[in-house]
Amino acid sequence: MDDQLVRIIEIARKHGVTTIKESKSAMETAAIWKGRKSAFGATGKIADYICMDGTIPTGRLPEVLTRIDELVKHYGLRVANVFHAGDGNLHPLVLYNINDPVERQKAEDCGLDILRLCVEVGGCLTGEHGVGVEKRDLMPVQFARCDLDQQMRVRAVFDPKWLLNPAKVFPLEGRVAA
């Protein structure tokens, strides 16, 4: 970790970072995490947002952040990028006005494009929050039909009538019975 930290600081300085804070105690680490965890609440004071959750290979982070910026600009929106840089887990917060149905649709479409981008660069649709209603129709972007069929067959063994979370994880069409 010490070698990686030295490299990170060198890279940061090379790119003009003016403040670098390295934790020297458990208390300082807790304060840094509090700041990270407060990002969502702070962003909510700026605008409504949709929080995405995709994962990418860590080496692709600069490229993906650039492309997210391009996508958001394409939709005429803004983004607050929150992420775990060390494991490639992204949580871009797509900012929009919840009271504007057109803008809400743009935010949803932009979010789906961000998730497609994650898969395109070798990542996946989710890092820690799972696949619910919002991501289920993107599952074919990440998995081949035969892979989805197999996953659904396994699920159907435990829930043959699809009673548990029936509208989540898998696309509604093409479900396979046990």
Radius of gyration (Cα) for the chain, nearest Å? 19
Look up residue 174 and give its DSSP letter.
Answer: T
- pLDDT reported for residue 41: 87
- pLDDT reported for residue 178: 52
pLDDT per position as a tens digit, 82-115: 888 788 899 999 999 999 999 999 999 999 999 9
**d(C-alpha 32, C-alpha 88), whole Å:** 19
* Paired tokens of 134: 């919002």
Residue type, 141: V
* Paired tokens of 61: 């982070």
Q: What percent of the chain has pLDDT above 90?
A: 57
Alpha-helical (H) ranges within the chain are: 2-14, 26-37, 39-46, 61-74, 101-120, 139-142, 145-158
Within its chain, how far is the Cα of 93 from the centroid? 9
Residue linked to tokens 């992420």: 83
- pLDDT reported for residue 168: 86
Three-class secondary structure of residue 88 per DSSP: coil
- pLDDT reported for residue 38: 86
* Paired tokens of 78: 């803004």
Residues facing residue 124 across a β-bridge: 55
Residue-range domain boundaries for the chain:
34-129, 143-178
Q: Which residues of the chain have pLDDT under 50?
A: none
Q: What is the CATH number of domain 34-129?
A: 3.30.70.2740
Other residues' Cβ atoms within 10 Å of the Cβ of residue 9: 13
- pLDDT reported for residue 31: 87
Cα dihedral sign, 62-65-68-69: negative
Residue 136: phi and psi, rounded to 5, are: -60, -40
